[in-house]
Amino acid sequence: MTGSAAVGSRRDRLLATVCVGAGRRANAPGTHDRQAPAALFEDLAQDRTLRAVVSSCGRASFNSGSDTREWLSAAPEETDASVAAMESAPTAIEGLPVPVVASLRGTAPGTGCPLACACDLRVGTEDVRLGMPVACWSSLVPPACAARLSPLTGPATARDPLFTSSPDG
């Protein structure tokens, strides 16, 4: 597996398997790894031999997107930059010219939700839960996340995790 401490990829001829997450704290990458997923997906988009990508983290939860404890002492502009960096990975997934499959297990709150929604297909275990916990802090969910989730679930179903942070929407 190649990549940073929180993002890795493995190639098996025409297939790339990507893992986003540090394997701790619900598989959330740290602040220093926020740009790594987008960079990896952008590199894969340039590979003309690639035929498909699987985004999976093996036995770990899919990805929680952020260890929010890092935001407790952060300045507002640091938090804004972090949110913008987290949005770069789903955007890069959408730019891939090959099918991308999210292999989900456990929880996928925060950036895990738009990461999964950006994939072409989502396959998961019965215990998969998607959500946007920032809603419980009276923070707005990034508009791009809402735009990805709503067409997949329908507007009424999308409102629950987007407005209440409930992962059971």
Longest dimension (CA), the chain: 45
Q: Where are the alpha helices (DSSP H) in the chain?
A: 36-45, 76-94, 112-118, 143-153, 155-164
Domains and CATH numbers, the chain: 2-131 (3.90.226.10)
Per residue in 27-53, pLDDT (tens digit) is 566 666 677 888 999 999 999 999 999
Closest CA to 47 of 94, 96, 104: 96
pTM (two decimals): 0.81
Q: Would you state the pLDDT for residue 65?
A: 60
Per residue in 18-30, pLDDT (tens digit) is 987 655 555 566 6
Give me the residues of the chain with pLDDT under 70, please: 1-6, 21-33, 58-68, 135-140, 165-169
